[in-house]
Amino acid sequence: MQSIQRLGGIGALTAAGTFVVGIAMFATIFMDFVNATDPSAAVEFIVDNQLSLYVWNNVIHIVFGIVLVPLVLAIGDRLRTAHSPLARISSVFGLIWSGVIIATGMVVNISYATVSDLQGTDPEMASSVWASLDAVANGLGGGNEVLGGIWVLGISVVALRERLFARRINYLGVVMGISALLTIVPALEDVGAVFGLGLIVWFAAVGITLIR
């Protein structure tokens, strides 16, 4: 029990770190790339910055998805005493979120390699392939945060009711969960930024609590 709690705490702190690194790289290096509306310009950027894009993608998707698993299990164990169906259901959504995030990272990695190879022989095809694969990746893990929102909101509601974490952590989780669910509406997709920034604080607070 203690070992999974500690692993979960380390996972939470690592998750916070992946968000910090991901947002910092986005704001300083990749903002124009992520917001690009011209697929050909995006492909050219990928070819010129493939290594840094691989690092960024692996941090925000692969590493995050992996460390999310012990965190979900640790919080699930912590909430087990509540005997709440909501806690169990939320944990399942947390594990699904982890799998989807990892899958997104793998799709994006293959996308970078595929369009880079095509760019040298058929630039138009490279742009078309990138537009298609980018839509798939956004649908899986970039365009909305519903899975993460259900997990965070569900466990925060149970933890608030059972007083299993500090109240400020639970209230923050409720707010973050609701903000994530709002991203299902296309016009409110930018609310996902609030979810991402808030999760840095939430992950750090939960991580410290689990380790202690």
51/47 Cα distance (integer angstroms): 9
**In the prediction, which pLDDT does 10 show?**
96
Q: Output the CA angle 27-65-156, nearest 5 degrees.
A: 90
Ranges in the chain, pLDDT < 50: none
Q: Which residues of 96-119 are buried (b: 16+ CB within 10 A; e: fewer)?
A: ebbebbbbbbbbbbebbebbbebb
- The dihedral over CA atoms of 186, 188, 191, 196, expressed in degrees to the nearest 10, equals -10
For residue range 142-177, list pLDDT tens digits in order. 667 889 999 999 999 999 998 888 899 999 999 999
**In the prediction, which pLDDT does 2 show?**
67
**In the prediction, which pLDDT does 70 show?**
96
Q: Which tokens go with 154?
A: 């569900």
Q: What's the predicted TM-score (pTM) here?
A: 0.90
